[in-house]
Structure 1
Amino acid sequence: MHGLWTAYFAALGMVFGSFYNVIGLRVPNHESIIRPGSHCPKCGHSLSWNENIPVLSFLILRGRCRSCRAPISPIYPVFEALTGGLFACSFYRFGWSLEFLLAILFISLLVIITVSDLAYMLIPDKVLFPFAAAIAAVRLFHPASPWWSAWLGAVFGFCLLYLIAFFTKGAMGGGDIKLFFVIGLVLGIEKTFLAFFLACLFGALYGVGLMAAGKFKKRKPVPFGPFIAIGALTAYFFGNSLIGMYLRFSGLG
C-alpha cells in the first residue's frame, strides 16, 4: 500500500510541477496564473488536455508545438519529472506525517523559485512570503529537534547571506537572503550551514564546467537560486549522513 501511495504522489507531483512552471514563469511578470490557460508562447495555441499531460505530452510531441512546430523548452518536462520524483521520495521517507507536509511545501517553494530565477534571475516575494508563512506555521506544530534549532537556523541563514551581500556590495540578491531564512526554518542551524556550503560548491563546480567548455563569460551574472535549491535539498535529505561522514573523517565523531 505504501508503494501505491508513493506512485500516486509521484504522479501528483508531476501535475503540480507543471503548475509550478506556470507560477515561476508568470508571477515575476505580474501575469495571472489562471488565465489564459496553458498555451504556446510562440503562436498562442491553446493546449488541449492531451497536449498538457506532464512529461508524456512533451515526449509524444517530440518537444515541439503541435500548431507552429516551435520547440518547447525542456524546462517544462524536467521540472515536472523532478517535482514528481521529489514528492515520491518525500512520501516514501516520511509517510503520513507533518514532516511530509513540510517536505512538500519546501520542495514546492524551491522548484518555483528555481524556475523563476533561471528565467528572470528573480525570486519573487509573492511566492516566497506565502510559503514562508506556511512553513513557519508547520514548524510551530512540528518543532525541530531541538525546537530552537529551526528558528536559530532561520536567523543564521538570513544574517549570513545579508553580511555577504553587504561586504560584497550586492553579490547576493535580496531574494537569496530571504530564501535562506526559510531554509533555516526547515533545516535547522547545522544543515543550514551545510546547505550554504553545498550551494557554493555546486555553483563553483558549474563555473569550472563552463570554463572547461569555453563558455564562461566574465561579468555575465549567474542565478544562484538553483544552486541554493540543490544544496538545500541535498542537506534536507542527506544532511545527517553527510555531517556524520564529515565528523568520522575529521575524527570528531
Structure 2
Amino acid sequence: MDNMLILLFFLLGLIFGSFFNVVGLRAPLKQPFVNDRSICPQCNHQLKWYELIPILSYIFQRGRCRHCHKKISYLYPLIELLTGLLFAFSYIKVGLNAEMMTALLFVSMLVIIFVSDMAYMLIPNNILLFFLPLFIVMRIIHPLDPWWSSIMGALAGGMIIALVILVSRGGMGAGDMKLFGLLGIILGFEKTLLTLFLSCMIGAVLGLVLLLLKVINRKQPVPFGPYIVVAAMTAYFFGDAVLSWYFNDLM
C-alpha cells in the first residue's frame, strides 16, 4: 500500500510540476494560466495533449518542439521530475495527516517561485498572496508548538531581510523579504533563521563555484530565490534534526 501511495504522489507531482512550470513563467507577466492552452514559447503553436505528457513528451521529442524544431528548455522536465520526487518524499516524510496538505502546498509554492526567479529574477506578489491565506488556515488547523512560533517566524523573517535591504542598499529584493515573511508562518522562528543561514551558505558556496568556473562574473546579478527554496525545503523536512545536532552535539 505504501509503495502504491508513493507512486501515486509521484505521478501527481509530475502532473502538477508541468502546471507549475506554466504558472512560474506566466504569473510574473500577469498572463492567464488557468484556462489558456499551453503553447510553444518559440513559435506560439498550441500544443496537443500528447505533447504535454510530463517528461515523456520531452524525451520522445528529443527536447525539441515538433513544429518549429527549436530546443525546449531542460527546466521543463527537470521541474516535473523534481516536483514528482518532492510530492512522493512529502508523503514518505510526513505521512497522511493534517500536515501533509501543508507540505504539498509548501512544495508547490517553492517550485513555482524557483521557476519564476530563475526565468525573470522575480518573486511574483500574486503567487505569495495566493498562498498566504492557505498557509494561515493550515497553521490554524495544525499549529506549531508553540503556536506563536509562526507569528515570530513571520516577523523575524520579514524584518531581518528588510534590515539587510536597508544596510546593503538593495543587496536583496522586496520579493525575498515577503517570501521570508511567508516562510516564517510555516517554518516557525527557529527554522526561519535556519533557512536564512542555509540560503546564505548555499548562495556563497555556489556563487564561488560559478565564479571559478567562469559561468558568471562578479558584476552579474544572480537570483537568490533558488537558494532560499533549497534552504527552506531543507529546514522544513530536516530542520529538527539539524537544530538538534547543532544545539545538542556542537554546543
TM-score of the two chains, using structure 1 as the length reference: 0.96
Query: In the alignment, is the contact (CA less than 8 A) between 2:211 and 2:218 conserved in 1?
Result: no
Whole-Å separation in 2 of the counterparts to 1:242 and 1:40: 43
Match of residue 165 from structure 1:
165
Distance 2:190 2:14 in 1: 31
Q: Which residue of 1 aligns with 2:218?
A: 218
The residue type paired with residue 174 of structure 1 is: A
* Alpha-carbon separation, structure 2, partners of 1:248 and 1:36: 53
Which residue of structure 2 lines up, in the alignment, with residue 105 of structure 1?
Answer: 105
**1:92 equivalent in structure 2:** 92
Q: How far apart are 1:96 and its partner, in Å? A: 1.9
Q: Distance in 1 between matches of 2:2 and 2:36?
A: 37
Contact 2:93 2:237 in 1 (8 A): no
Q: Following the alignment from structure 1 to structure 2, what is the Cα–Cα distance between the partners of residues 175 and 7? A: 34
Q: Distance between the aligned counterparts of 2:98 and 2:20, measured in 1?
A: 22
Letter paired with 1:119:
A
Q: TM-score, normalised by structure 2?
A: 0.97
The one-letter code matched in structure 2 to 1:110 is L
Runs of 4+, deviation exceeding 2 Å: none
Q: How many residues are paired up?
A: 251
Deviation digits for residues 229-250 of structure 1 (CA, Å, limit 9, x no counterpart): 0000011111111112222442
Quick one: which amino acid aligns to residue 10 of structure 2? A
Match of 1:240 in 2: 240
Match of 1:65 in 2: 65
Alignment of 1:32-181 (within 5 A): 32-181=32-181
RMSD over aligned Cα atoms: 1.2
Partner Cα distance (2:228, 2:109) in 1: 12
SS of the aligned residue for 1:3 comes to helix
Q: Aligned AA for 2:137? A: A
Contact in 1 for aligned 2:10/2:85 (Cα 8 Å):
yes
- The one-letter amino acid of 1:4's match is M
Contact 2:157–2:184 (Cα < 8 Å) also in 1: yes
Partner amino acid for 1:173?
Answer: G
| 2:137 match: secondary structure | helix
Distance (whole Å) between structure 2 residues aligned to residue 24 and residue 125 of structure 1: 12
